Structure 1
Amino acid sequence: MIEDVQAAIPLGFLLSFMIGPVFFVLLETSATKGFRAALFFNLGVILADIFFLTIAYFSSYQLLENLSNQPGLYVFGGVILLIYGLTTFFSKDFVKRKTDIKPRKGGYLSLFIKGFLLNFINIGVLVFWLGVIIIVGPSLENNPNRIILFFSSMLAAYFITDLFKILLAKQLKRKLTPERIRWVKKGLGIILVICGVVLIIKGFLPKDQLNIEKGIEYIRD
């Protein structure tokens, strides 16, 4: 059991630094809105991961293959990210006083939902968790208790690492002027647009370039 936890912690740490829209939005939220806002956003992200993990656990390799044959799912998620990125980039609601940066109490729920949806719309997250389960499952003897312990430890390490990222990003808040906030949000918008375009391109790639089996074999080797 202890060996399973020790194996899961490094994976959780690496997962926290996977570059994607959630990574940048989390840092931006911490820097502009504070620790509590970023915490609620991150809890939404974690809930989406748990949701995908549950689906992945009760699914099979066949579902993984079916996802690779449904490029429309990538296009759908990519279009949503693209629209969200463009909205963030062109939004005029940038210039605020520092005292106005903190969200209202009711805004924490919206940040939680935002974190969940931003992670949920990326079908690649589900593919990722399916791949991890397919690779890790046999080494855990497909024992439900060991699998639950492994992924719980992995998500715990992921969450704790994110807390440190939030605290570091929060230090930037004191140096943020309205103009800098404007450029942070514009940069975030560009990153989200790029992530959306990448997902859309994945949807239009030939099927043989989305071969999940080859990807898993590559990881194993």
Structure 2
Amino acid sequence: MNRFENRREAGRLLADKLLEYKSMKDLMVLGLPRGGVPVAFEIGQKLEVSLDVLIVRKLGLPYNPEVAFGAIASGGIKIINHDMVRRANLTEEAIERVFEKEQKELAKRQEKYGSSLLEDDLKEKTIILVDDGMATGATMQVAIKGLKGAGVKSLIVAVGTAPPDTLREIESMVDEAISLLGPKPFFGVGTWYKDFSQTTDQEVRDLLERTKDDN
């Protein structure tokens, strides 16, 4: 295979690689929005398990938001880089202001998607964490660290495509990592999909609604 037709095809092909998990108790599929959700939907359908989204929000420095000192994610996940906090001389008040701002944005997105993921939903679960692809893997790494901190039992990462060096780094962090395409040179995730049109908020919501109806 040179390229996927679309995200749904990538999901169906990934699902075939994950069938060993189908009968596992306490299994959950989480998609990284927005592009990871159509992929995750197909996996959830094939494995007959529930689907939700894991929304990740960066905590940026007040004077330079592009530089992160931590992150938050669905399910009450919070990660703080204490070395960065010390180097940036951030006060507790400054940290709290950024946290509250991003927490409100995360809550808005959860409501928009119809997501109901709570911290207790993650404990002692086997999680299949899904995206359409990874380039640097930065968002995936934050998600992995957060899920581990939330007490998941085991963690499997499944993506359509990723460069080999990124996949190796992710493999070292989880129980299993699967990428169907690992081309070199990589160019970018969208290169390996014939249809890489943007997944809309409404599509995410519709897919979550469908999986709730099915389960």
Normalising by structure 1, we get a TM-score of 0.26
Hey, which of these two has a bigger chunk of strand by percent? 2
Larger Rg over CA atoms: 1
